[in-house]
Amino acid sequence: MIPVQGVNGQTIAVLGLGRSGRATAAALAAGGARVVVWDDGHDARLNAEAEGLELRDLTGAAGWDDIAALITSPGIPHLYPHPNPVIAAALQRGIPVDNDIGLFFRSFATPEWQDFDVTPRVIAVTGSNGKSTTTALIHHVLDSAGRPCQMGGNIGTGVLSLDPAQDGEVVVIELSSYQTELARALTPDVAVFTNLSPDHLDRHGGPGGYFAAKRRLFSEGGPDRCVIGVDEVEGRFLANQMGQGPGDDRVIRISSGQKLDGFGWSVFARKGFLTETRKGRQMASVDLRQIAGLPGAHNHQNACAAWAACRGVGLAPRQIEAGFRTFAGLPHRSQTVRELNGVRYVNDSKATNVDAARQALQAFTRIRWIAGGLGKEGGLTDLAGQMGNVVKAYLIGHSAREFALQLGAIPHEVVETMAEAVARAHAEAEPGETVLLAPAAASFDQYPDFEKRGDDFVARVNTL
């Protein structure tokens, strides 16, 4: 646990009592704060009280006089579409609102660091797609190279539940737009921006607000090194703002699909080969096509981001390549479940939006595609003309019939459930084909989260 600094003797309120909320309450208490908590859910309040936490109803006018700050969980709206009433009350009273990420960055460094030979560093990863894989890949490479490291944030362990830093340690954290938008402190040593595609627009008041939330990690944080994907205009804009010119090697531009010339430092992948260039010289080249844990162009972009971040903390190319070759990938993200009778079964349940599904569809040929769930605005319209690899689609969930209307001449079948989709795809698949779960939709119509949806797919594939 990382005790929160600067709160000794203060009364701090915590809103939201999920994993991060409870961890935040414990870290605040370890820092000497009096912690009061609230959650809109009755069961969550009962559980918190049973754990010995002090409940305080913050929905009324009373109870705010002694509160120095309100710490909120990332899933609770604080601005758009409208603030949660408790957050609105704090804003009205001028009480600072923060989250666990802000507390982490202001508390991670301690006086003990003065005795370390190598100062600990933080790599923070954000973006729309690929940030979990990129975060896990960076951590895996560091661990493989023998560097002390931890991983947390939006993946794995909550940031305040991490251990205090060791000498020379690197902490790798994944940050969502919800987290970067609100954190009052953002000071990574290396900041990574993978890419941008429309998502969570209701929470950010549109695409501009969404990009602004991601951009804060760089503009507010002032990282020593910026790793920025430049395959979208927002990334090119961000790289332009963070650098003092094309030769400024504090910015490492990355790309999947285009060669990057004329920059101080760049890492790009083309036709399956990763290339690093610095000040006009090629520093390294790796054939990514032979790395089973990183299939497809979207994973090649993740590889470029991880390569650049690891180089930014001093790893050698041979160390990074060795780590890539032993990376197994993450569950629910282009995860090969098994191969049976010449057919490959791939779980990409994390493809909850059209852009992520597009990347998965481009990573394989001759695809039997399981798609559907709780569709997002526009459905599959943005995939028009980009489904040439699909042999047939098997549509499940709430949006199955809407998706069927949008597929046009592509062979498809409305099957409703995962069980029927897997059974039908298995019965019809031929050697050399891939049965791919890439839903292009949220899971909440049939499952509590994308992990449970992916687990269902895996379980049914493993019984074939």
- Is residue 41 part of an annotated ligand binding site? no
**SS3 at position 35:** strand
- Is residue 47 part of an annotated ligand binding site? no
Bridging pattern class, strands 335-340 and 343-347: antiparallel
Rounded Cα gap, residues 319 and 336, in angstroms: 25
- Is residue 16 part of an annotated ligand binding site? no
Rounded Cα gap, residues 415 and 413, in angstroms: 6
Q: How would you write 55-120 as a 3-class SS string?
A: ECCCCCCCCCCCEEEEEECCCCCCCCCCCCHHHHHHHHHCCCEECHHHHHHHHCCCHHHHHCCCCC
DSSP result, 348-410: -TT--SHHHHHHHHHH-SSEEEEEESEEPTTTTGGGTT--TTEEEEEEESTTHHHHHHHHTTS
> CA torsion sign, 233 to 235 to 238 to 243?
negative
Rounded Cα gap, residues 367 and 341, in angstroms: 15
- Burial pattern 139-159, b for ≥16 Cβ within 10 A else e, equals bbbbbbbebebbbbbbbbebb
Rounded Cα gap, residues 133 and 293, in angstroms: 10
Rounded Cα gap, residues 246 and 330, in angstroms: 34
Rounded Cα gap, residues 295 and 330, in angstroms: 12
- Is residue 206 part of an annotated ligand binding site? no
DSSP result, 305-346: HHHHHHHHTT--HHHHHHHHHT----TTSSEEEEEETTEEEE
- Is residue 257 part of an annotated ligand binding site? no
Residue 340 CB coordination number (10 Å): 15
- Is residue 334 part of an annotated ligand binding site? no
> CA torsion sign, 208 to 213 to 214 to 218?
positive
- Is residue 127 part of an annotated ligand binding site? yes
Q: Which two tokens stand for residue 419?
A: 């069980």
Residue 397 CB coordination number (10 Å): 27
> CA torsion sign, 281 to 286 to 289 to 293?
negative
Annotated binding-site members: 127-133
Annotated binding-site members for ATP: 127-133
